[in-house]
């Protein structure tokens, strides 16, 4: 039977731990959902964002649009479509 020396074993444990941490960090980053918000001072309530949102996450209020993040799928279409650049992305 092959015996593993202590130094080699510790190196192996350290490498495995680093790999695991890196992997879980990568998965967490991939799962992080982009959050979109409306800058109320720029919004002119035109409704274009609402018409392009396939998730039905946008509603128009009396003065500006609002995004319901529980419905939003973070596609970014509203941000691209807004003529006033009133929609911006933030990290979750």
> Binder to ligand SF4 among 62, 75, 91, 92 (CB under 6 A)?
75
How far is it, in rounded angstroms, from Cα 88 to Cα 92? 12
Q: Is 86 in the site for ligand SF4 (CB under 6 A)?
A: yes
Tell me: does residue 22 bind ligand SF4 (CB under 6 A).
no
User: Does 37 contact ligand SF4 by CB under 6 A?
Assistant: no
Q: If you search the block for the tokens 């731990």, which residue do you land on?
A: 17
The pair phi, psi for residue 44, each rounded to 5°, is -110, 10
Q: Which is nearer to ligand SF4, 57 or 92 (CB)?
A: 57
């Amino acid at each position: 039977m092959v015996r593993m020396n202590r130094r080699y074993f510790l190196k192996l444990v350290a490498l495995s731990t680093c790999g695991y941490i890196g992997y879980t960090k990568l998965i967490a980053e991939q799962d992080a959902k982009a959050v979109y918000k409306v800058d109320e001072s720029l919004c002119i309530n035109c409704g274009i964002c609402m018409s392009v949102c396939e998730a039905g996450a946008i509603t128009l209020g009396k003065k500006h649009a609002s995004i319901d993040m529980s419905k939003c799928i973070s596609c970014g279409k509203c941000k691209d479509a807004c003529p006033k650049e009133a929609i911006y992305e933030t990290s979750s």
